[in-house]
Amino acid sequence: MKDELNMSLQPEKRPSEPRTEEEKQQLQNRLKRIEGQIRGIQKMVSDDRYCVDILIQLSAIQAALKKVGYTLLERHTKTCVSSSIKDGDGDHHIEELMKVIQQFSK
């Protein structure tokens, strides 16, 4: 399976430094809030709410998802990429990081 970055998903890979329980909980809490916002938009559509109101909520969800993405991107850079550079094997991770940054810049 390929994702939007045209990179193969790598389910066998793990972070070089496992996420703490606190980090996992913070990410899960944010994602649950986003999930609730999405359910709210579904209800707004069902209730035939005003288009602009729905668009505003969509914008809020996009911002929330970007924040989750930037949190993961920052951690990946500080742990996985940094570790691979220290180990002398950074080229692949830097290339991968640049593709992800490019995707987030859209």
pLDDT confidence tier of residue 89, bands split at 50, 70 and 90: confident
Q: Which residues of 81-100 are buried (b: 16+ CB within 10 A; e: fewer)?
A: beebeeeeeeeebeebbeeb
**Measured between alpha carbons, how far is 63 from 77 in angstroms, rounded to an integer?**
21
| Structure tokens given for 49 | 């709410």
Q: Is 21-104 CATH 1.20.58.1000? A: yes
- What are 62-80's pLDDT values in tens digits? 999 999 999 999 999 999 8
% of the chain at pLDDT higher than 90: 67
pLDDT of residue 16: 75
Give pLDDT, residue 40. 97
Task: Tell me: pLDDT of 28 over 90.
Answer: yes
- Name the pLDDT band for 29 (thresholds 50, 70, 90): very high
Query: What residue ranges do the domains of the chain occupy?
Result: 21-104
